[in-house]
Chains A and B, each alone.
Chain A
């Protein structure tokens, strides 16, 4: 048996409530009955003791008048037939003890038993009762008689009734348990199964569940109806939500494919444009070359200078077209993975740069045996872009140094290209990889602004990532990983 609490089921709480209510009722009944019993026993006892005292008083009149203590004690000795009486005393009007019962033995004199007491009175203290009454002869008080009784019956009654009440309490316990079990069936069971259904619904998110009750009236039925209605509502909303989600996904898919098609078309277009622009540009370049090669005396210095400028523009535009084609290739070309030695690729690019510009002084540092599993053509574009960048931004640096290497970061290999050139502001690093975004003025460093964007696209296609660290005038480092699948 445990005390009712919030954690326990409604059925056991109901049982406890029953028990508690009947227990309290019983205790109240017991207390009031006991009080009533004690009161009635006591008042009856007081009544009878008073009568007894009056009789004793009347019978002791002559004994007092004629100073016959023996007679008075004989009269008092009649008290032995009253079971509850402990002692009795007769006092004369002067207040001296005249006779007592029992004749031998001490006489208890509680302070309240004043012999000068004016009239009949009684005192009660628990089961102890003292009754006093005047002894009157011819209208004059000649003495007082007291009778002291201990009402053993009161205690006995209380005990007996306590036993009866205890028995009834046990009976009530049994009845409460029985009633509780029937309550479980009638009242608690529907609530319990309602709670179970609610738990199932919340656990499995199954809003198609319904709670069935065999009863069609009372609050419980309306509760279950409301519960079921709520479930239906939720189910409907759930369905609508699901439908909306499906619709949204379909729409996204549709838009994505539309976007992809548009993108592909755009790229194909830009590729075609770039590719087709190459041939006329080549022609312009060739013509410039022929003009410069042909010895024309009449041509002035100014004309020669203009042709040189034209040629430089053709070269610049040609490299721009190359870059655009590379950017286009970086997304559209299929990946052909091979095992590559990036160190030798980097070495040959740096060597090419050095040979093309024999006047520039710089120190190439290439770490050997940096291998990667990647598309050879695309990785060539990546390294070309990064190393050319480094070359470009160290053009104004004394003691320029361009470094390629690889380190381990966990299971990945991180490749890097480092230079000690112009560097960049680390705060603007996000703009580095966006196409056509430039951190430096075109007058300082020539460039199209799409090289790093191309690098990022290629690395991402290989499942890797690229990032940069730099500081203005202290150089920059570009890192990348290549997480290409093995096959």
Chain B
């Protein structure tokens, strides 16, 4: 009896601890917005993707480009300020036409491009560009990575075929944390 009571007490105290933790995390989500997280992810994707060798491109700064309406504002600039990637400076660029964005390494397609999405993707997929967006049906329409918002958390899904078509190699680490991976049965292999 005493033992059972002790166990119950322990469980209670752990529950209390979990509650506190949840509160803490809730507080953090309040201060960190979805855009903040997406901006961070955008930058972090670079570390799990391998671009084909391109001497000309490698002498240029590593470009993260926003196509269409800017949803991040200063956040992205703050995040990548003073950051380098494989010895390259990282810069954020904003474009309204897809033609200008073709030299970027990562292109985030904003909500405003909804109507031109197919055209944009068709243009970008012939280049070595990692396309990212939070537009619905982005993967089905040929995008590489789509942000999802699940359980109050930012997640992402991957279209491996689209990435491969762009000549990009995605790290299995990235695929591991993706909600799902399209264009392959790789996700099922990772347990």
Contact = CB atoms under 8 A, between A and B. Distances in A.
A62 B153 contact: no
A138 B173 contact: no
B48 A62 contact: yes
A137 B176 contact: no
A321 interface: no
Interface stretch (A64-72, A122-130, A176-184, A444-452): A64-72
A175 to B, nearest CB: 53
B173 A61 contact: yes
Interface string A62-104: 1101111001001000000000000000000000000000000
B169 interface: no
A137 B40 CA distance: 14
B171 interface: yes
A278 to B, nearest CB: 136
B177 A63 contact: yes
Given A61-B173, A71-B176, A71-B177, A66 B156 contact: yes
B14 A66 contact: no
Nearest to B40: A65
Provide the main secondary structure of the chain B interface: helix
Contacts of A137: 47
B91 interface: no
What is the size category of the interface that chain A forms with chain B?
10 to 19
A66 B154 CA distance: 9
A334 interface: no
Nearest to A97: B21
Contacts of B14: 106
Interface string A127-145: 0000000000110000000
B10 A59 contact: no
Contacts of B153: 67
Given A137-B47, A138-B47, A63 B176 contact: yes
A60 to B, nearest CB: 9
A89 to B, nearest CB: 14
B177 A68 contact: yes
Contacts of B176: 62-63, 71
B174 interface: yes
Given A59-B173, A71-B176, A71-B177, A65 B47 contact: yes
A62 B10 contact: no
Contact of B173 (A62, A74, A106): A62
B155 to A, nearest CB: 8
Contact of B171 (A62, A67, A138): A62
A413 B52 CA distance: 150
A51 B182 CA distance: 33
A106 B47 contact: no
A106 B173 CA distance: 28
B44 interface: yes
A138 B84 CA distance: 10
Contacts of B10: 106
Interface centre among A61, A65, A66, A67 (most CB of B within 10 A): A66
Contact of A65 (B44, B85, B154, B155): B44
Interface string B143-168: 00000000001111000000000000
Interface in A459-482: none
Nearest to A94: B28
A67 B179 CA distance: 12
B72 interface: no
18 contacts: A61-B173, A62-B48, A62-B173, A62-B174, A62-B176, A63-B176, A65-B41, A65-B44, A65-B48, A65-B177, A66-B44, A66-B155, A66-B174, A67-B37, A71-B176, A74-B191, A137-B47, A138-B85
Cβ-closest 3 pairs across A and B? A62-B173, A68-B177, A66-B177
Given A67-B153, A137-B47, A138-B85, 13 more contacts: A61-B173, A62-B173, A62-B174, A63-B176, A65-B44, A65-B47, A65-B48, A66-B41, A66-B174, A68-B155, A68-B177, A71-B176, A71-B177
